[in-house]
Amino acid sequence: MFHKEGHKIIFITFIFIIASFLLVGNFIEIEWLRTAILIILLVFLILILQFFRNPKRKTTPNNKQVVSPVDGKVVVIEEVYEKEYFKEKRLQVSIFMSPINVHVTRYPISGHVIFSKYHPGKYLVAWHPKASEENERTTVVVENEIYGKVLYRQIAGALAKRIVNYAKLNNKALQGEDSGFIKFGSRVDLYLPLDTNIKVQLNQKVRGGESVIAEI
């Protein structure tokens, strides 16, 4: 199953691949060169299909837990001052996505969207210390009646050139459901209450909609 954000790109890629196959078959007579080009085209197609895959995830909604919004690796766990919305100290958990990870963004907790804002910006590498403040990004806050307010921020990376955000103000959020997509490599930051119990460790791999990041 492929994400709707990739349908157009996948279609264009198929047309390009078919046209390239025909051109290579008709105009390149050197067998080894023709074979090499065809292999490269196939690998390119496989990478595009893999990037836009949208696997089903089994999320059991739990108002006392925050699940990972994306697939990737935990690269930051620290106490920071969140200055865009909370304007106070929070626990930050950052998850880095490589180009081969699933890039669907999912709601980390159920509730209502009480804040959603897009920021244009730079395209520093996603693990850069200033990426959270200077890169193109989207900040969303979901309020849950038990857990409280959870902020997550989609951040573009050096390869990511488009952030898609479905979380609009006053929308109902359902834990584990699609809330957006980031095209071609990026990172997502979570900002959680200081008294929350973090359930992951640095460099741990997590799965969007399934891995528990924190709980109360």
The residues annotated as belonging to the active site are 186
Q: How many residues does the chain have?
A: 216
The pair of structure tokens assigned to 182 is 């980031």
CA gap 77, 80 in Å, rounded: 9
Give residue 84's identity as a one-letter amino acid code: E
Strand, coil or helix: what is 34?
helix
The pair of structure tokens assigned to 47 is 């990478």
CA gap 131, 68 in Å, rounded: 20
Nearest to 124 by CA among 185, 70, 202: 185
The pair of structure tokens assigned to 168 is 């609009």
- Is the CB of residue 142 less than 8 Å from the CB of residue 85? no
Angle at 156 between CA 153 and CA 161, to 5 degrees: 140
